[in-house]
Amino acid sequence: MSDFGIGAGGLAAMFALMVLRMPVGMAMLAVGYFGIVLMSGSRSANALLVTEAFSATANYSLTVIPLFILMGNIASVAGFSRRLYEAAFAWVGQLRGGLASASIVGCAAFSAVSGSSVATAVTIGKVALPEMKRFGYSDALATGAVAAGGTLGFLIPPSTGFVLYAILTEESIGQLFMAGVLPGLLLTAFFMLTVTLVTMRNPEAGPRGAAVSLADRMLALFRAFPLLAIIVTSIGGIYLGVFTPVEAAGIGAGLIILMALAMRKLAWNVFRGTLLDTVRTTAMLYLIIIGASVLNPFLAMTHVPATLGEAMTSLGLGPYGILFMIVVIYLVLGMFMDGLAMLVVTIPIFFPIMMGLGFDPIWFGVIAVILIEMGMITPPVGLNVFVVKSVAHDVPMATIFRGVLPFWLAMAACLLAIVIFPQIALIIPQAMF
């Protein structure tokens, strides 16, 4: 069998293992290890496993992952996420579909402390879905807004997606974080516009909330101010060059723990559970990174990335034609593949192609993350849909998927805008550096 055949067979085996519900990181690790055994022998495979596992997990930049996860977990258990939602509702709740828009704004704000789409969808969903049900919102709009809003956790910094992309491509985490700010705000605006259009078509889907006085709005904003100040401090410090991303994560996590302790919102048993949850999530992400570190050398040995790159460029479609092909591949993969797995498997293949065509690596990182976000709400997998289903037990899956469709189209529109106007993603990192 040719080297390319071995590589293609390895990828097929990896997908099969994922279908059989083997953890993503372990599937990549198994295929990479045994593939190298097949091609170079067990001695080379053992040496690569030891060196790559150590070098991947010893990367100082990866420290941002557990710190930002801890930051988001503390914000959730201390009740700060509810304050974000209440502030958003006070300012936009009186609009048509205001509760759904408030859910999206709350997701956007919480994304700036969690870095996880799943955590964002669960945290805001537990607060927002009962409120929307109480006010008579349609199940489709309510669940669709939370599932789509949760995906912002993968785009708005601190994003685990950007951290993994930076590790895989050796790009700057700080630049990638800054590149996600304007696209994240633009996508939030597109989601809110979608809520408006849905409720204009069907006013009963999202009735207006009660008007809130300016004094009550300011009070709600004041209650959310401490967490907003931590967000601004962390992200602003990175932009101004005061902190590195790792230092910003440490400062943010430290400040939010001190704030929770000062407000007596963090009992020891709660804090212990939060630490354990942070360790579990971090271990899962590190296993994916180790698996990718072993799989990628195997793919390089089989020349799969180079062969696919040559095949795509030989079609004569031009740079944007090839970009369109990659977009379609991501959308298809998103139908049945986990987002993080899709990122670590595809970036080593697509990144060299994009760089050879002259595209900006930071810009492509934003494009890839948005495409993975779209996969999070695409049937039949749609990870965020299943997460919302775990909160809204009585809502059928078909209803949730129907509810996310308008938001999926909004994400496609946002993606098109960033392709046409790359400066949306690049203007802040270029000003920063």
Judge contact between 286 and 57, C-beta under 8 A.
yes
CA distance 385 to 191: 16
pLDDT tens digits for 54-93? Answer: 887 888 878 888 888 888 888 888 877 778 888 888 888 7
Mean pLDDT of 11-40: 87
State the pTM of this model: 0.87
pLDDT band at 140 (very low <50, low <70, confident <90, very high): very high
CA distance 300 to 133: 51
Mean pLDDT of 194-210: 86
Query: Given a cut of 70, is residue 296 above it in pLDDT?
Result: yes
HSE of 234 in the Cβ direction (CA atoms, 13 Å)?
33
HSE of 208 in the Cβ direction (CA atoms, 13 Å)?
8
pLDDT band at 366 (very low <50, low <70, confident <90, very high): very high
Mean pLDDT of 357-376: 92
Q: Which of 131-145, 304-318, 393-407 has the lowest mean pLDDT?
A: 304-318
pLDDT band at 160 (very low <50, low <70, confident <90, very high): confident
Predicted local distance difference test score (pLDDT) of residue 183: 95
Q: Which amino acid is at 384?
A: N
Domain boundaries, the chain: 3-432
- The full DSSP string for 244-277 is -HHHHHHHHHHHHHHHHHHTT---HHHHHHHHHH
Predicted local distance difference test score (pLDDT) of residue 433: 59
CA distance 311 to 315: 7
Judge contact between 130 and 391, C-beta under 8 A.
no
Predicted local distance difference test score (pLDDT) of residue 88: 85
Of 83, 172, 78, the C-alpha closest to 361 is 172
pLDDT band at 348 (very low <50, low <70, confident <90, very high): confident
Query: Given a cut of 80, is residue 209 above it in pLDDT?
Result: no
Where does residue 96 rank: exposed (0-12), middle (13-18), buried (19+ CB within 10 A)?
Answer: middle
Judge contact between 72 and 150, C-beta under 8 A.
no
| Choice between 383 and 353, residue whose per-residue pLDDT is larger | 353
Predicted local distance difference test score (pLDDT) of residue 402: 92
